[in-house]
Amino acid sequence: MPPVPPVPPPPPRRGTPRERSPWAAADGDETPVPGPPQPADVIDSDEETLGAEPVDAPPDHSAPAQNGSVATARDVPSIPPPPPPRATLPPTRPITEVSQPRTGIGSAVTRWRGSLPEVTTAETENAESDAAVAAADQDAPADVVTRSAPSWLLSLVIHLIVLLILALITSPTGNGFTNLVLDFGISNEPIEDALELDLSSPQTDDLIEAPEDALDDTLLETEIPEIFETVEPAEMEAIQPVLLGAEPIEISKPMFSGRTGAMRKALMAMYGATDETANAVKLGLAWLKRQQHRSGYWSMVQPYSNGAVSENRPAATAMALIAFAGDGNTHLEGMYRGEVDKGLKYLVAQQDRGGFMAASARGNERTYAQAQATIALCELYGMTKDSWLRAYAQRAVDYALKAQASDGGWRYRPNEPGDTSVTGWYVMALQSALGAGLEVDPEKMKLIDKYLDSASVYYGAGYAYQPGRSDATPTMTAEGLLCRQYLGWERNDGRLQEGLKLLRTDAPFDINQQNVYYWYYATQAFHHVGGPLWTEWNDEMKVKLPALQIKDGSERGSWAPQGDRWSIGGRLYTTCLSIYCLEVYYRHLPLYDQN
């Protein structure tokens, strides 16, 4: 027989690369800044190291040929292999399938009348063998019972036992039972084989004759009782028309319903808004949209020019959200709902179990960021009543109440004796919570008056930065008077009127002395009081403030921080506060009736 070529060895196995292990490092640092809060900047960087080491494969060897020679293709003739030998084993005999008798619960089959096959002569022999098996099984009565008991019968018995137990437990007379013993066993009495049920209709050849008078077509008259009682129509009182403007309109504080729709247009016309103020707000919000990071937050230092001296992402995000919400945008509706939704999700992700959201900010800036973030959550919840947001807003409010000092104010750390600047932001946060329907302890609100009394000068007409100081400033005075308005001072209160007159005389709206932080509080205080004081302030503000807005270039729509008293806050800070001023016509409904 010619030589057979050797079988080639299997291909070598390749090594497997190592698993990749990504790693990332992040760090951030920033310096504190006075004024409203700005979160700390966090610089994220991700790197990935990939490595793979091949595993050496075994060398490829071929089996040596016989007699020390290597067979080649030419040495092997093309002769087909011989056919396989034919089978010489005798044919196998098919195995006869032996049916095993069925045993166990549920093995019996219910047979219906007419469904049993006829017993043929060929089956007689099988019946005799089955009889022999049955005679051998007489010693095991349990098998007989279980084979003869249908599954539905066992299920019925078990359910009856369970119902009996439940009846004894719930029955009032069951108190007399102390022990209940159920005896389960196998009956020794023979039970007939499977039940035969006949559900067919009975057949009969006998006809039933009805009596002749069974059918009677005679009509009878009878009285049918009424099932509905007669109801007398109720007398409706005449609805008296209400004449709008006949009486003063009571407006609750603070409400957010004037930010959209017809109410917004009416308020803008009533309080002196113009196309210039509306366009300035529109441009400002468009600028804010362009500055949002893809992760949802805003920054105090970038990507724009003239940023703040330090980073504060929670504060920047909260201030942007307040600007969007003031114009009627929420995470559910509005032109900027997408931006608001991303910013809101970033903000709530910063909140811990205690309600604090400014952990990434530095030093004294944290308290401003926390207060502003609380305002944003409360306003968005108040505008939407979105259930998932309520818990976050309420935790922020609870944190504010716990951080209040014993003198009634707030400062840089929880329970630290307060200052007027930080206290004003928290008063606005709690008022937003009340307007949203959140829970606020009224005793805590009353305690704020205690602080304001200690920080007031000129018998309550002016306010200093901290208690014990006599140097009242325009910014702290405007902030203190606004807090007094929200806390219940009447419109004609002499201290309130005197303080606003001092502001109009000594600190008018002057672009040569830019102080957007003062303008923010003074604009609200004058707006709520209304009358000539508001008209004089608004006539200057609605013209001069839009004129300061950047109208072209990459910063189109923003307000430059250069020249402002709080320029350290950066471009986003001055832009947001300027937008708040121009939204004042509808952002919060006035606290006093305007007759």
| pLDDT tens, residue by residue, 33-84 | 344 444 334 333 333 333 344 444 444 444 443 333 333 444 444 555 555 5
363 vs 356: CA distance, rounded Å:
14
**Paired strand residues for 43:** 27
CB 470 within 8 A of CB 476: no
pLDDT tens digits for range 273-285: 999 999 999 999 9
Give the three-state DSSP class for 256: coil
As a whole number, mean pLDDT of residues 354-375 equals: 95
Pairing label, strands 456-457, 196-197 = unpaired
Q: Is the dihedral of CA 160, 161, 167, 170 positive or negative?
A: negative
Q: Quick one: pLDDT at residue 79? A: 55
pLDDT at residue 225 is higher than 50 = no
pLDDT tens digits for range 427-474: 999 999 999 999 999 999 999 999 999 999 999 999 999 998 988 999
Q: Quick one: pLDDT at residue 81? A: 58
Q: Quick one: pLDDT at residue 168? A: 77
Query: How many other CB atoms are found less than 10 A from the CB of residue 394?
Result: 19
Q: Quick one: pLDDT at residue 593? A: 76
Q: Quick one: pLDDT at residue 157? A: 86
Q: Which of these ranges, 42-51, 197-206, 408-417, 577-586, has the smallest mean pLDDT?
A: 42-51
Residues 6+ apart with CB under 8 A from 526: 500, 504, 533, 534, 537, 538
Which residue's entry shows tokens 């609750």? 252
As a whole number, mean pLDDT of residues 530-535 equals: 94
CB 407 within 8 A of CB 465: no
Query: How many other CB atoms are found less than 10 A from the CB of residue 179?
Result: 4
Q: Which of these ranges, 3-12, 255-264, 275-284, has the smallest mean pLDDT?
A: 3-12
Pairing label, strands 196-197, 111-112 = parallel
Q: Quick one: pLDDT at residue 80? A: 56
- Give the tokens for residue 115: 């469904």
Percent of the chain with pLDDT over 90: 54
Q: Quick one: pLDDT at residue 323? A: 97
584 vs 500: CA distance, rounded Å:
17
pLDDT at residue 500 is higher than 50 = yes
pLDDT at residue 587 is higher than 70 = yes
54 vs 477: CA distance, rounded Å:
75
Query: How many other CB atoms are found less than 10 A from the CB of residue 569?
Result: 32
Query: How many other CB atoms are found less than 10 A from the CB of residue 441?
Result: 13
pLDDT at residue 108 is higher than 90 = no
pLDDT at residue 217 is higher than 60 = no
Q: Which of these ranges, 193-207, 377-391, 476-490, has the smallest mean pLDDT?
A: 193-207
CA distance to 53, 305, 515, 580, per residue, from 555 (Å): 52, 8, 20, 18
Q: Quick one: pLDDT at residue 114? A: 52
pLDDT at residue 24 is higher than 50 = no
pLDDT at residue 132 is higher than 90 = no
Distance of CA 234 to the CA centre of its chain: 47
Instruction: For domain 262-587, give its CATH number from 3.50.50.60, 3.40.605.10, 1.50.10.10, 1.10.150.240.
Output: 1.50.10.10
pLDDT at residue 371 is higher than 80 = yes
**Paired strand residues for 120:** none
Average pLDDT, the chain: 75
Q: Which of these ranges, 15-29, 334-348, 358-372, 564-578, has the smallest mean pLDDT?
A: 15-29
Query: Burial of 108 by CB count in 10 Å (0-12 exposed, 13-18 middle, 19+ buried)?
Result: buried
Percent of the chain with pLDDT over 70: 60
pLDDT tens digits for range 326-362: 999 999 999 999 999 999 999 999 999 999 999 999 9
Q: Quick one: pLDDT at residue 595? A: 59
As a whole number, mean pLDDT of residues 542-556 equals: 95
**Concatenated DSSP letters for 463-525?**
E-SSTT-----HHHHHHHHHHHHHTT--TT-HHHHHHHHHHHHHS---GGG--HHHHHHHHHH
pTM of the predicted model, to two decimals? 0.60
Among candidates 428, 480, 425, 422, which has minimal Cα distance to 454?
480
Among candidates 325, 326, 323, 319, which has minimal Cα distance to 347?
319
